[in-house]
Amino acid sequence: MTVRSHFRGHPTIWAEEGFWVYADTRERAGFEGEIRPCKKCNELFEGSNIGKPDPCLGNLPGVDNACCGHGFQERAYVRFTNGVVLTGFTVEGKMMNNKPFAVGDLVEVIDPGLAALREILPGSKPNHHGVVSRVLDCGTIMVEFPIGEDSMDQHSQISPYPASAVRARVE
């Protein structure tokens, strides 16, 4: 019987020599061998990840440990500082707070006030989708939002957000 697992989304098997190898190449896998990028976000994070955020999730407020599952929904988890654990979710976007944003990047913000407005006004267009207008040296992301049905060239506003509240958006 072959023992199977995954390392950052890549299938692995337990070798007779007593360590994990990638199923496709039989090269030693994990921290003692070849480090491959996450199969979900394609980020390469080497060595111990202790104290560093999962590149797919970034820094999450109120969270002390989390993993995106690397493409496997059943392996994803978030452990909140109050001890509550959330498992089995899918990461739709990629948090970018551990990488610099560029002016013009499409983003969405995690803002409780904007979320409350969406609840009050169901069916309205998303109010949390914007574009990076500037990145400050302190890490604050200035996000520009269109107002009403106007284009950003006609009518917009710019608001500051911490990088942990901003994530990349794909249209």
The tens digit of pLDDT for each residue in 36-64 reads 877 766 776 655 555 566 666 666 777 77
Q: Among the listed ranges 7-21, 63-77, 126-140, which one has the minimum average pLDDT value?
A: 63-77
pLDDT band at 24 (very low <50, low <70, confident <90, very high): very high
Instruction: Report d(CA 162, CA 143) in Å as an integer.
Output: 10
Same domain, 152 and 124: yes
Bridge pairing between strands 106-109 and 63-67 = unpaired
In a domain, 82, yes or no: yes
In a domain, 127, yes or no: yes
Write the pLDDT tens digit of every residue in 76-100: 788 888 888 888 766 655 444 445 6
Q: pLDDT averaged over the chain?
A: 76
Sheet hosting strand 129-135, strand order edge to edge: 156-161, 141-146, 129-135, 106-109, 166-168
Range of the domain at 76: 50-92
- Predicted TM-score (pTM) of the model is 0.42
C-alpha 53: how far from its chain's center?
9
